Amino acid sequence: MLPRIRTETEDVYRALVEDLSKTFVPTSIMGATLLGVGTFIFFTSGKVLILLATGAGGVASLLKLCLQYKQSHRIAARDDNLVQIQAWEYAYLITTCIVAVSVGLLTAVVFRQPDVTLQLLASGLLFGYCAGIVARTSIRPIIAFVALLTAAVPPIVASALCPDASHHVVSAMFFTYLLGSLETVRHLYHTTARHIAMRLNMAALAHRDPVTGLANRLGLQQAFECSATNGQGVAVFCLDLDGFKRINDCFGHAAGDRLLAEVGQRVVAVLESDSVVARIGGDEFVAVQFGASSIANADDAADLIAQKLKDPFQIGNEFVSIGASVGYVVSDALSADLAELIKIADAASYQVKRAGGAGARSGAMLGSTNANVLMSAQNWSNGTGALSRVERAQ
C-alpha cells in the first residue's frame, strides 16, 4: 500500500482519496482521446507498438472508470475503513500508471518517426494528459508524480536522441514543463489539503460545545440520525444541574466552565461506548445511549449518573457539591423522534426538580404504536412503550 503523507490526518486522507472518484468525466475524455489519437497514429504509421500502447491505455481507462463508479457507491454507504481506503488509492495508482505508460510510450515512438503531423498529435496528447494529471490528481501527489514522470520522460529522451536541433529544443521544453508540473502538483496538494483540513475542523466545531468538548444540539442530532437505525432501543437522559449559578457567582465563570467539563466527563464515563453526551444549554446536558436493551438497564445507568454527580467537585483548593436532576426515557430507535424523547426526559427532570426531593418517579409511554404520548403519571396505559424515571443527586 502507498504510505500516507505524515502531515495528513485520517479524515483529510479519506477526503482526498475519495475525491479521486470524482474525475469520471476527465477520465472518460482522456480515455476516448487516447483511443482516437492512438488508433489514427497506428493506421497512419502501421506501428504495432502504437496499437499495443493504445489498447493498454484504453483498457486501463475503462478499469479506472469502473473503480470510480464502485468507489462512489461505497462513499455513499460510508462502508470503507482505512485499509480499504488505502486499497482504493493503490488501485488508482496502478490504473493511472498504465495509462501514463501508454501515453509516454506512444509519444516516444511517434517522436522517433519523421512525420511531423503525427508528432504534433502526440504532443497534444501528452500535454492534455499531463494537464489533467496536474489539475485533478494533485490531491494524491505520489500518484501524480509517478504519472507525470512515466508519461513525460520517454518522449523527452526520444526527442533528445533525435539528431536535429529542433527536437533538442522540444526535449528541453518538455523537461522544463515537467519540472513546472511537479512544482504545481506540490503546491496544489498542500493548498487542497489545507482547505480540506480547515473545512473538516469548522464542521467539527459546528457540532461541538467549546466549553466541554462534548457534542452540541447539532452534533447530538447528527449522531442520533447516524446511529438510531439499528433497530435496537435507545435511552435519552436529561440532566439539569442545581446550584450551578452559585458556583459561577462564588468562583467565577472559568471555574464554572471547568465544572461543566467535569460533569460531562463523568456522564461519558458512566455510559461509555455506544452513546453520545451533549451540552445543550448553560447547565443542561443530554445523553443518548444506543442499544438500550431494557428499562432496567437505563434505570441502572440513571442511578449511576446520579451517584457520580453526588461526588464533590474540586475547584482550586476547595471541594463543592451540586445537585442534578436526571430524567430519562427509553424507546424503540426506529420509531423514535429525538426532539420528542428529549421533551419527555426533560419534563421528567423538571418534575423532580420542582418537587425538590429524590427518588420521584413518573410513567411515560413511547413506542411505535403510541409515539405522541407525553410524560405523565396518568398517561401510562395500554402496555406499550417505555417507562421514564427521574433521579435527583444532592
Provide the residue type at 120 as one letter: L
The SS3 assignment for 211 reads: coil
The average pLDDT across 16-32 equals 93
What the block records as the C-alpha cell of 4 is 500516507
Mean pLDDT comparison of 95-99, 286-290, 298-302, highest-scoring range: 95-99
Name residues whose C-beta falls within 8 Å of residue 279's C-beta, 6 or more positions apart in sequence.
209, 211, 212, 214, 215, 216, 260, 264, 285
The predicted-structure confidence for 379-388, as pLDDT tens digits, reads as follows 322 223 334 4
Contact between 237 and 286 (Cβ < 8 Å): yes
Question: How many other C-beta atoms can be found within 10 angstroms of the C-beta atom of residue 201?
Answer: 13
Contact between 259 and 213 (Cβ < 8 Å): no
Distance CA 108, CA 165 (A): 17
Place of cell 500535454: 127
Distance CA 174, CA 156 (A): 6
Contact between 189 and 141 (Cβ < 8 Å): yes
Higher pLDDT, 338 or 359: 338
What does R_g of the chain's alpha carbons equal in angstroms? 32
Name residues whose C-beta falls within 8 Å of residue 1's C-beta, 6 or more positions apart in sequence.
83, 86, 87, 89, 90
- Cα angle: 119, vertex 125, 127; to 5 degrees: 100
- Residue environment code for 280-306, b if the CB has 16+ CB neighbours within 10 A, otherwise e: beebbbbbbbbbbeebeebbebbebbb
Lowest-confidence range among 211-225, 317-331, 364-378?
364-378
Select from 303, 362, 383, 336 the least CA-distant residue to 234.
336
Name residues whose C-beta falls within 8 Å of residue 177's C-beta, 6 or more positions apart in sequence.
127, 130, 152
Domain ranges of the chain: 10-206, 217-393
The predicted-structure confidence for 47-94, as pLDDT tens digits, reads as follows 999 999 999 999 999 999 999 999 988 887 776 788 888 999 999 999
Whole-number average pLDDT of the chain: 83
**pLDDT > 80? residue 208:** yes
Select from 252, 281, 253, 277 the least CA-distant residue to 266.
277
* CATH of region 217-393: 3.30.70.270
Select from 176, 159, 157 the least CA-distant residue to 167.
159
Name residues whose C-beta falls within 8 Å of residue 102's C-beta, 6 or more positions apart in sequence.
34, 38, 53, 54, 56, 57, 60
**pLDDT > 60? residue 10:** yes
State the pairing for strand pair 275-279/313-315. unpaired
The predicted-structure confidence for 186-204, as pLDDT tens digits, reads as follows 999 999 999 998 888 887 7
Kindly report whether the global pTM for this prediction surpasses the value 0.75: no
Can you point out the beta strands (E) in the chain? 233-242, 275-279, 284-290, 313-315, 318-320, 323-332, 389-393
